[in-house]
């Protein structure tokens, strides 16, 4: 009898994970990589918030830009002034998963999303490549793309004649947990 009860409970828990069509995180990681002549640096935040709905293929991520940290207080202050985070506090992406995804597989699968990235009040249609993997804990997402500051009318900061490269590599890494409805 105990085996039957345990089996039924395990099946119920497992089916809840398999039925879940939406996955959410509030603690994903976002990193940007930047270059100036003779020096590279990165900024990180562990406050990436995201939702993926596999039923309608929507992908929605955003980050509070005030949470980005480069490890250098002056650089962080300059970055936040350049991004005007008081007026435009978020970097946002909303789009659709346009590649096939088999939610029944635990293999790492290539994924492509298309949508709108918005930063500093400017929007641009982009395509992002990454991977999705269904794990026991949820949906693991990894992606990266190049953000050109000029596309968003952001003037790359400079000190004298040394200017920040306008191309910034962006990476995200997040484990999204099933949302039970």
- The full set of domains in the chain, from first to last, is 22-179 (2.40.128.110)
Residue 156's pLDDT is 82
Whole-number average pLDDT of the chain: 88
CA distance 94 to 83: 20
Token duo for residue 11: 């099946």
Task: Answer for the pair 176, 25: CB distance below 8 angstroms, yes or no.
Answer: yes
Residue 159's pLDDT is 62
Residue 18's pLDDT is 46
- Residue 125 pLDDT > 60, yes or no? yes
CA distances, 65 to each of 38, 57, 69, 120 (Å): 26, 26, 9, 10
CA distance 174 to 52: 11
Residue 23's pLDDT is 98
């Amino acid at each position: 009898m105990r085996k039957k009860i345990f089996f039924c409970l395990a099946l119920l828990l497992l089916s809840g994970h398999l039925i879940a069509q939406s996955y959410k995180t509030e603690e994903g990681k976002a990193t940007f990589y930047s270059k100036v002549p003779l020096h590279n640096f990165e900024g990180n935040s562990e406050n990436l918030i995201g939702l993926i709905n596999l039923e309608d293929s929507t992908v929605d991520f955003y980050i509070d830009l005030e949470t980005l940290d480069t490890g250098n207080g002056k650089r962080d202050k300059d970055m936040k002034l350049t991004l005007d985070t008081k007026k435009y506090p978020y970097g946002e992406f909303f789009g659709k998963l346009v590649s096939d995804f088999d939610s029944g597989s635990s293999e790492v699968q290539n994924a492509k999303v298309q949508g709108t990235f918005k930063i500093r009040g400017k929007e641009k249609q982009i395509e992002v490549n990454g991977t999705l993997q269904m794990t026991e804990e949820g949906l693991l997402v990894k992606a990266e793309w190049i953000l050109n500051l000029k596309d968003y009318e952001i003037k790359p900061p400079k000190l004298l004649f040394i200017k920040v490269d306008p191309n910034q590599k962006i990476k995200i890494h997040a484990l999204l947990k099933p949302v039970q409805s």
